[in-house]
Amino acid sequence: MAGDLMIASTVRDRNVTTLDAVGTVSEAPPRLPLPVNLGHWTALALAADAVAAAIAAFAALAVRFGVQPGEETLPYLVFAGAMVPLWLAVMGFAGAYDRRAIVHGAEQCRRVINGMVWMLAISAIVSFALHAGLSRALVIVSISGAAVVTLVARYAICRALHRHLNRDRVAHRVLAIGLTSDVSRLAAHMNRAAFAGFRVVAAMTPAEDRRPQLPANVRWAGSDVNDAVLQAQELGADTIAVLATHLLPEGQLRRLSWELEGTDIDLVLAPAITDVAGPRITSRPIAGLPLLCVEKPQFTGPRRVIKEAIDRVAGSASLVLLLPLLIAVAGAVKLTSSGPVLYRQERVGVNGSRFRLLKFRSMYDGAELQRSLLDELNERDGPLFKLRRDPRVTPIGGFLRRWSLDELPQLWNVVCGDMSLVGPRPPLPSEVERYVPDVRRRLLVKPGITGLWQVSGRANLSWEESVRLDLHYVDNWSVGLDLAVLAKTCVTVLRGEGAY
């Protein structure tokens, strides 16, 4: 009998399995990830904004009047002194201190810019009403400078917070309600975007009375949705995500929202659509019934013309500005190994058209003929071929790949109209032959020198993840997204992440 009462434990997949007194196996619940105190980060952002406003205001005064203020500078000193509290107040009204947005860099940028516009409008109205006679140029420079310094500080804070949000630290614990398959997809999506700070920590499955096969580190909170608020509070969750409203009894969702009154728990509805960007989703209420409308992807029209114009102008300007660097790289390639300076390879462009992609040669001449000998060493899945230490790469070629200098000649492809600055990765014809119908959607837009794949891991990405990012871009592209990708590309290249 004593042996029956002994407790044996083993560690498996970071969970503890125990043998209880009646001989049944029970698994201890996964350890909850530690929450990040967003209040501290919000306070840090507020302090950074105060410093930014002070620096911008007094720097503008110093440039305009020097370090010896006179009587004529008194109105400006008053303006500079009021700049800090006004800037903080406007940023607060713009939602820049909302804890739910402190993790999202793009949303913070939008709110800071909105605050800057409001501040300019307020300054113009007050100056006109009080006949202050302030220099419009100095006011604009001060406020714009405060916005620039604030954006830089917010970027640094956001990057530090993203590094803090690792596997054991989260900003938002989520209790998901829905089918097991829906919970698994939501958990996988949030794990991919760990920098956003959301993590599914528990699930309620109204359609299943027994514990389902949930993803690792996701607890089962039962099937009774009436206990959702209590379960969320016990888990320390600040978000309840409903993934399948049809599983809930009539009126249950409304009652759930009532129960959350007076708590710090948010209620969100996760639609059964993924990889659809926010601008394509609009809400259309019909007699009190909110409908989510998904706009169709746009491949023609004014936005496409603007994108083409930006590509041609920016590509041409970049070629001119980078001409000395292009000449230096070409000379290095020519002097360090025999063969042509440029490597030309047939690639597939928009709608299946073929073009010759240009790159600085980073391999020994004739390396393509040795490809079949290295197929067994391929480190990538799917139709892609990649080796971290490819013996065909020249010493200078490794350096060029490390800093993406070998891709600079593709600017000529952009100027010629074969490629875009931002788009899906340009595929080989042999790769396209293996595409399934869904993947062929990559060919609906021009391939790009950079893209979501470039700023999300590059060669470290799996084939499935690379395709997902490319299809996301095809369906949700915009000029704003292109500018964001170009900005992130500069950071990625400087880090050399996934480049080999």
Instruction: Assign 14 a pLDDT band (cuts: 50, 70, 90).
Output: very low
How many residues does this entry show for the chain? 500
CB 221 within 8 A of CB 208: no
The pLDDT of residue 272: 62
Strand, coil or helix: what is 73?
helix
Taking only the tens place, the pLDDT of each residue in 166-211 is 656 888 999 999 988 889 888 888 887 777 888 999 999 988 878 8
> How far is the C-alpha of 112 from the C-alpha of 458, rounded, in Å?
30
Q: What is the mean pLDDT of the chain?
A: 82
Question: Residue ranges per domain, the chain?
Answer: 1-30, 38-164, 171-272, 302-495
The pLDDT of residue 451: 92
The pLDDT of residue 244: 81
Specify the DSSP element, H or E, that contains 266: strand 266-269
Distances (CA, A) of 141 to 130, 135, 181, 220: 20, 10, 53, 55
CB 174 within 8 A of CB 190: yes
The CATH architecture assigned to 171-272 reads: 3-Layer(aba) Sandwich (3.40)
Rounded to a whole number of angstroms, the distance between the first and last alpha carbons of the chain is 62
> How far is the C-alpha of 98 from the C-alpha of 94, rounded, in Å?
9
pTM: 0.70
* Residue pointed to by tokens 């509805």: 269
